Chain A
Amino acid sequence: MDNKNTPKKKKSFLQLLFIKAFGTGKKKLSILEEEQMQGPVRTIIKNFTSNRLSMTGLIVFLLIFAVVIIGPFFVKLDLSYTETSQQNVNPGLDLMKVPSSLEGKVAEISVGPTYTIAVSDSGQLYMWGKTKITSTLNLKYVPSNMGKIKRISAGFDHILALNEEGKVFAWGNDRQKQCAVPDKVKELTNIVDVIAGYQCSVILTADGHTYFFGNEANNDYKNTHNYQGQIVKVVTTADAVLGLTKDGQAVYLGKQSNGYTKMPENMGTVVDVAATASTMAAVNSDGKVFVWGNLSERGEGKVPEITSKIVALEAGRYHYTGITEDGKAIAWGFDNYNQASVPASVKNSKVVKLFTGAYQNYAVTDSGKILTWGLKGYLLGSDDLGRDILNRLINGGRMSMTIGAIAVIISTIIGVIIGGVSGFFGGKVDIILQRIVEIVSGLPFLPFAMILSALLGNALSSNQRIYLMMIILGLLQWPSLSRLVRAQVFSEREKEFVTAAKAVGVKQMSIVFKHILPNVISVIIVTATLDFATCMLTEATLSYLGFGVPAPQPTWGNMLYGCNNSIVIQNYWWRWVFTSIVLGICVICINLTGDGLRDAIDPKSQER
């Protein structure tokens, strides 16, 4: 077929869609042609689609709507989830962005909660991720003149480094003195390893001695433990220290007797140990892994059954990884950010070194490539409890829209019934109903809603409070709609078709709701649309003030709750900017749609 000669008649689907959406393809009629007669619905749709602004509003709103309705099926929300290590993380997906210059010469990688630090073969320091801990504290500012770095360790909010000469450097948060290297340690010349934990630092010497500094109240450590002189490896949980002796025994280096001290028996010869935030693990010479400590539902204890032997262990915040003797990486434990799901690219290659920490995993393959999996970061940042704002925005949107929609449905039903009855029957019925309308519309909305939710709120469960919100909003929103409907019904009922309907024998109630109402439906739709926006805003206002939907359940309003102080506004801008923008855009789009609908239904209103 020769495409060049065939005239271009058919428009592509996209073009048609564009024309439908923005109305540029309007056919011009000659003066002799008459416009095609159309039904009222088609006319309204045509008028609406030719209004670009409201059409854009509708499309944007539908997009937001689709995301918050479909999104939660993919982005699950765990209401009880909080994570101290992930508080107030800046927006961005750069937590695992390994510098390309590091490729092929990794000596060691150590992962902190929101940042990663690495040393190359030549002793050079690399750092990526979110290094800013507070507005004044940034881990990026490393001590000068460290020389060639040999070992590195990332703590919760501080970093320890050991250089070639055996000198220890520490920087970062020093509130618990975890960066204040004691004189005793400074005098040591045989340091082989540094371990940075949660507000604490541990130094390991070549002769098997350990030295501890930092927060001793939070970390269970006994300076005079029985294993001084035998330790070859030290790992830390969030509150305890575990050691490995040179004769292959995992030993607890604390004073207390707790979950960590209840070690499994018959572990045999332990070859490696690792520790998550609350559990400890050891692997013996047979490749068998033992996990103990404060095991939770996160699944640190669920060691997968594999045929090959595990030779080395690594641990993140809530998950473990290991390398088998044939160079395969395996992972188990908490998988909320896919940190325990080894990707196919890693499964298919031979792993030489594996570094795990927090929610990130770095696997160095035999070809020197660095493969990563786990948490990349938070697109819109995280909030004060370490929850992903994007996740809460999507799930909260669903709640906000549901509340708005149900409130509007309630208020529309009440408004239409009261307005319709009041308008059609008039007389005493009208007088009584209008007094009720006046009383309800006279209630000061916000104070009333606050008092109501404060009075009833404490006695109700979280879910019941959500229903309460819907009902309060619905019960206080209807007067304006009922007045509009009443006025419209008043004018419609005098028209001849109502008499004609009566003459045919239609019953009164069905005249009101079947014959008059369809004539008023345009007003109802427009008002309901605009009310939807108002309801969402009011819900946001109430939740923002703390009287709406209670805390763990997110809505766009209560995500802003607690963002009303200058510290958050200045330093953690992502906690309020994105939510406000989405809420704002959504409300503006609904209003644009409503206005466009009004214009489409009553084209004369544009001429006024």
Chain B
Amino acid sequence: MALLELRDLHTFFTTKKGIIKAVNGVSYEVEAGKTLGVVGESGSGKSVSAMSIIKLLDGNGYINSGEVIFDGKDLADVSIKDMTKIRGNDISVIFQEPMTSLNPVFTVERQVSEPFIIHQRMSKKAAAKKVVEMLRQVNIPNPEAVAKQYPHQLSGGMRQRVMIAMALACKPKLLIADEPTTALDVTIQAQILKLMNALKKENGTSILFITHDLGVINEMADDVAVMYCGQVVEMAPSRVIFGKENNYSHPYTEGLMYSIPRLDTPTGVRLEAIPGAVPHPLDLPKGCKFAPRCKYATDKCRNEEPALVEVEKGHPIRCFYPEKGVRANGK
């Protein structure tokens, strides 16, 4: 049984201009001890779907319908008060901006000890000891000294490590990593990813990894969900998606793959970018949401909305023409 299962989740935001359907019928699963990578452009609803799990939505956001089954319990119905007991304890979050995710006026010790004090009712002294232990676990050199420092005294990579230490403090079952490496440079990025993988193995934590970087997904994820305009357009094990012998894919996934520079691309060939931009959530196109940007789009695509259809076992795609060969010839 999956640790986390989203079933037909709809998360909406009410604004003055109308209801924004940020997440419009998303379903995905995170297996225990596995990593699910969620990819997509900005505004595709990947962060919102993840934040819906622990109800960290902005004031005007709400779950309209759908279920969030976590450990056999539907979190969509849980009150905010009960949710605070789950946050940081069973489910933790690492944010994108390590620069601003730490409170500037508190020491590292004070912040990392918070989950211990809240969820495990530790005394401040005991928590302080635990903090040093956690900092050592995330490979921070000289943890005793760092614990007494303020966030502005740390580098970006260090701060993200502190964030990870804080998130893993109570050994959560699920870790939501919302673009944890986006703000870091590549070498630090690699270190952090390595660290997260190691900790995952060590603690048996499942990770919901949100990113727009397919390279990172390749390194981290067991399964991949590709999102576009608030919907999952393709889902597959990562070895299938990144595998060479893969016959099926969504044109959007294909576009994302083509936009990554590869070592084996011949010189002189330009990178192929997906034309256009993500449509405005209040002005979604009729039919397939990706149709206006899709180079294979037909009239059928523009008028009818495709359903998520399983083309192979464990590989659903939301497209009328999922087969790569068929698509290319049709053109």
Q: If the complex has contacts A499-B95, A518-B106, are A505 and B101 also in contact, measured as CB distance less than 8 A?
A: no
Closest to A500 in B: B101
Please determine whether A505 and B85 come into contact, CB atoms closer than 8 angstroms: yes
Interface string of B38-60 (1 = CB under 8 A from A): 00000000000000001010010
Interface string of B90-107 (1 = CB under 8 A from A): 001101110011111111
Please determine whether A519 and B95 come into contact, CB atoms closer than 8 angstroms: no
Is the C-beta of B293 less than 8 angstroms from some C-beta in chain A? no
A40 to B105, CA, bound (A): 7
A518 to B105, CA, bound (A): 7
Please determine whether B56 and A502 come into contact, CB atoms closer than 8 angstroms: yes
A28-54 interface (Cβ within 8 A of B): 37, 39-40
Q: Please pick, from B56, B85, B104, B150, the residue contacting A499 in the complex, using a CB distance under 8 A.
A: B56
Interface string of A278-309 (1 = CB under 8 A from B): 00000000000000000000000000000000
Is the C-beta of A427 less than 8 angstroms from some C-beta in chain B? yes
A502 to B96, CA, bound (A): 15
Q: How far is the CB of A420 from chain B (nearest CB, A)?
A: 15
Please determine whether A505 and B119 come into contact, CB atoms closer than 8 angstroms: yes
Please determine whether B54 and A503 come into contact, CB atoms closer than 8 angstroms: yes
Q: If the complex has contacts A40-B150, A496-B95, are A504 and B104 also in contact, measured as CB distance less than 8 A?
A: no
Is the C-beta of A562 less than 8 angstroms from some C-beta in chain B? no
Please determine whether A504 and B100 come into contact, CB atoms closer than 8 angstroms: no
Interface string of A507-547 (1 = CB under 8 A from B): 11000000100110100000000000000000000000000
Closest to B87 in A: A505
Please determine whether A496 and B100 come into contact, CB atoms closer than 8 angstroms: yes
Is the C-beta of A142 less than 8 angstroms from some C-beta in chain B? no
Please determine whether B93 and A507 come into contact, CB atoms closer than 8 angstroms: no
A503 to B84, CA, bound (A): 8
Please determine whether A497 and B85 come into contact, CB atoms closer than 8 angstroms: no
Number of chain B interface residues as a range: 20 to 34
Interface string of B71-114 (1 = CB under 8 A from A): 00000000011001111110011011100111111110000001
Q: Please pick, from A503, A507, A518, the residue contacting B92 in the complex, using a CB distance under 8 A.
A: A503
Q: For the complex, would chain A's binding face be called helix, strand, loop or mixed by DSSP majority?
A: helix
Interface string of A347-380 (1 = CB under 8 A from B): 0000000000000000000000000000000000
Q: Please pick, from A427, A496, A504, A508, the residue contacting B115 in the complex, using a CB distance under 8 A.
A: A504
A322 to B137, CA, bound (A): 88
Q: How far is the CB of A556 from chain B (nearest CB, A)?
A: 37
A497 to B150, CA, bound (A): 14
Please determine whether A500 and B87 come into contact, CB atoms closer than 8 angstroms: no
Set of chain B residues within 8 Å of A503, measured between Cβ atoms: 54, 56, 87-88, 92-93, 95, 167
Please determine whether B59 and A427 come into contact, CB atoms closer than 8 angstroms: yes
Closest to A426 in B: B59
A332 to B255, CA, bound (A): 107
Set of chain B residues within 8 Å of A518, measured between Cβ atoms: 103, 105-106
Q: How far is the CB of B101 from chain A (nearest CB, A)?
A: 4
Is the C-beta of B307 less than 8 angstroms from some C-beta in chain A? no
Is the C-beta of A506 less than 8 angstroms from some C-beta in chain B? yes
Is the C-beta of B153 less than 8 angstroms from some C-beta in chain A? yes
A427 to B58, CA, bound (A): 13
Please determine whether B118 and A501 come into contact, CB atoms closer than 8 angstroms: no
Is the C-beta of B163 less than 8 angstroms from some C-beta in chain A? yes
Q: Please pick, from B84, B106, B153, the residue contacting A507 in the complex, using a CB distance under 8 A.
A: B84
Set of chain A residues within 8 Å of B167, measured between Cβ atoms: 503-504
A515 to B111, CA, bound (A): 10
Q: How far is the CB of B135 from chain A (nearest CB, A)?
A: 16
Please determine whether A519 and B88 come into contact, CB atoms closer than 8 angstroms: no
Closest to A427 in B: B59
Interface string of B136-173 (1 = CB under 8 A from A): 00000000000001100100000000010011000000
Set of chain B residues within 8 Å of A502, measured between Cβ atoms: 56, 84, 87
Is the C-beta of A177 less than 8 angstroms from some C-beta in chain B? no
A501 to B105, CA, bound (A): 13
A182 to B103, CA, bound (A): 92
We find that the number of chain A residues with CB closer than 8 angstroms to chain B is: 22
Please determine whether A497 and B100 come into contact, CB atoms closer than 8 angstroms: yes
Set of chain B residues within 8 Å of A225, measured between Cβ atoms: none
A259 to B110, CA, bound (A): 77
A496 to B100, CA, bound (A): 6
A505 to B105, CA, bound (A): 19
Please determine whether B54 and A504 come into contact, CB atoms closer than 8 angstroms: no
Is the C-beta of A495 less than 8 angstroms from some C-beta in chain B? yes
Please determine whether A504 and B101 come into contact, CB atoms closer than 8 angstroms: no
Q: How far is the CB of B94 from chain A (nearest CB, A)?
A: 9
Please determine whether A506 and B54 come into contact, CB atoms closer than 8 angstroms: no
Q: How far is the CB of A28 from chain B (nearest CB, A)?
A: 23
Please determine whether B102 and A504 come into contact, CB atoms closer than 8 angstroms: no
Q: How far is the CB of B85 from chain A (nearest CB, A)?
A: 7
Set of chain A residues within 8 Å of B107, measured between Cβ atoms: 39
Q: How far is the CB of B234 from chain A (nearest CB, A)?
A: 28
Closest to B169 in A: A504
Please determine whether A497 and B92 come into contact, CB atoms closer than 8 angstroms: no
Set of chain B residues within 8 Å of A505, measured between Cβ atoms: 84-89, 115, 118-119
Q: How far is the CB of B331 from chain A (nearest CB, A)?
A: 44
Please determine whether A500 and B84 come into contact, CB atoms closer than 8 angstroms: no
Q: Please pick, from B88, B97, B105, the residue contacting A504 in the complex, using a CB distance under 8 A.
A: B88
Set of chain A residues within 8 Å of B102, measured between Cβ atoms: 497, 500
A518 to B153, CA, bound (A): 18
Set of chain B residues within 8 Å of A497, measured between Cβ atoms: 100-104
Please determine whether A495 and B106 come into contact, CB atoms closer than 8 angstroms: no
Q: How far is the CB of B56 from chain A (nearest CB, A)?
A: 6
A507 to B114, CA, bound (A): 11
Set of chain B residues within 8 Å of A519, measured between Cβ atoms: 103-105
Interface string of A178-213 (1 = CB under 8 A from B): 000000000000000000000000000000000000
A211 to B16, CA, bound (A): 102
Set of chain A residues within 8 Å of B85, measured between Cβ atoms: 505
Interface string of B284-313 (1 = CB under 8 A from A): 000000000000000000000000000000
Please determine whether B118 and A506 come into contact, CB atoms closer than 8 angstroms: yes
Q: How far is the CB of B163 from chain A (nearest CB, A)?
A: 7
A495 to B100, CA, bound (A): 7
Q: How far is the CB of A383 from chain B (nearest CB, A)?
A: 50
Set of chain B residues within 8 Å of A427, measured between Cβ atoms: 59
Please determine whether A504 and B56 come into contact, CB atoms closer than 8 angstroms: no
* Best-buried of A40, A503, A515, A518 by chain B (most CB within 10 Å): A503
Q: If the complex has contacts A495-B100, A506-B84, are A500 and B105 also in contact, measured as CB distance less than 8 A?
A: no
**Sample of 27 A–B contacts (CB below 8 Å):** A37-B149, A37-B153, A39-B107, A39-B150, A40-B104, A427-B59, A496-B95, A496-B97, A497-B100, A497-B101, A497-B102, A499-B95, A500-B102, A502-B56, A502-B84, A503-B54, A503-B56, A503-B87, A504-B92, A504-B115, A505-B88, A505-B115, A506-B84, A506-B88, A506-B114, A519-B105, A521-B105
Q: A496-B100, A502-B87 are in contact. List 19 more A-B contacts (CB 8 A).
A: A37-B149, A427-B59, A496-B95, A497-B101, A497-B104, A500-B93, A500-B95, A500-B163, A502-B56, A503-B56, A503-B93, A503-B95, A504-B87, A504-B118, A505-B84, A505-B115, A506-B118, A518-B106, A519-B104
9 residue pairs, one from A and one from B, having the closest CB atoms: A505-B88, A504-B88, A505-B87, A503-B93, A496-B100, A500-B101, A496-B101, A497-B103, A518-B105
Residues of A within 8 A of B (CB): 37, 39-40, 426-427, 495-497, 499-508, 515, 518-519, 521
